Amino acid sequence: MKLKEQILRYFFKRILARNEKFKGRHTGETCYIFGNGASLKNMELGAFSDHVSIGLNFLCLHNDYRSLNIQYHVLVESFFFYPYVRNPYTNQYQPNVLGNLFKKAFRQHHDITLFANISNAFGSRLFKKVFYLYHFGNRQVSRKASDISGAFSFMTSSLYAAIGLAINMGFKKAILVGCDYMFSPGRIGHFYTSESSIRTTGPENLYEKLFMECRSLIDLEVITDVGVSSWLPYQDYESLTGRKIRYRDNVEIVDPAYLKILNRAFDLKQQPGVIYPTRSPG
């Protein structure tokens, strides 16, 4: 381990030790992990209230967020909760529109436990129940570095972190909803944008290493709105829930105030998805 990582590990040891209480908390249970894919426009979140849910990223913007049995939320973007951010698309420092939006939206959910990247430890103090995760140089996902109280290599994205978290908590199965990259073909898009999802044609499995590392630790399954998944066992929404697909656009499932802020992020090139079909009204 590099000297920098050793220093960080010493400095944050007590903070990470707080995660010990989550280990084995849900032994033998099943959970849902909710991504942000456009397939959520076709599904009613209330159909998934029978198990504990782990939400990812901007799921808290969805009007039906609390219809889930949502107990945990994961957002592991580095330095996400600070007032200003370097925009990777423009290489400029700008007001952190997306980070401020998340803080505004999540602040009302004080009962939900948030897991964040430890780089945000000095920017996320507004949240009452926030815990931190870090990789300490273990950037390639590995079951040998899967300790939420120490070196946690499941930090490539919030989905990786949620699966690693579910393993630590003892869940025997995680059902992935709104994780459209795992469809065959994969789909790109988010529930909070106005665009329909875009199909990708690449045959590669972007999560092959992740699945390989955790296949003996937790059972994974995907819920699709239409179509199949080639990488994991899957069920389609209608067969699982007995409910028909009902499409709703982003303006029907996200608060107008949040959409306006998202549109500001789009204007600043902080997020690529189009929020309104035409230009924002103001």
Which pair of tokens denotes residue 238? 């209608």
Phi, psi of 243 (to 5 degrees): -105, 145
- Rounded mean pLDDT, 242-270: 96
State in words which class domain 3-267 has. alpha beta
**What is the rounded distance in angstroms from the CA atom of residue 107 to the CA atom of residue 174?**
26
Task: Please report the DSSP string for 146-215 in residue order.
Answer: B-TTS-B---SSHHHHHHHHHHHHT-SEEEEES-GGGSBS-EE-BTTSSSPPEE------TTHHHHHHHT
Question: For residue 103, which of 44, 60, 133, 72 has the smallest C-alpha distance?
Answer: 60
- Rounded mean pLDDT, 252-261: 98
- In a 13 Å sphere around the CA of 73, the CA atoms on its Cβ side amount to 27
CA 145-75-23 angle, 5° bins: 45
Q: Tens digit of pLDDT for each residue in 226-249? A: 889 988 999 999 999 999 999 999
Q: Which stretches within the chain are classed as H helix?
A: 3-11, 13-17, 97-106, 158-169, 208-214, 237-241, 250-253, 256-267
**What is the rounded distance in angstroms from the CA atom of residue 260 to the CA atom of residue 282?**
8
Q: Is the pLDDT of residue 281 over 50?
A: no
pLDDT score recorded for residue 202: 61
Which pair of tokens denotes residue 120? 């945000």
For the chain, the domains span: 3-267
What distances in angstroms separate CA 77 from CA 30, 99, 238, one per listed residue?
26, 10, 33
**What is the rounded distance in angstroms from the CA atom of residue 163 to the CA atom of residue 172?**
11
Minimum mean pLDDT range among 1-10, 17-26, 225-234:
1-10
Q: What percent of the chain has pLDDT over 70?
A: 93
3-state helix, strand, coil in the chain (%, to 5): 35, 20, 45
- Rounded mean pLDDT, 120-141: 90
Q: Is the pLDDT of residue 274 over 60?
A: yes
**What is the rounded distance in angstroms from the CA atom of residue 10 to the CA atom of residue 172?**
32
pTM: 0.93
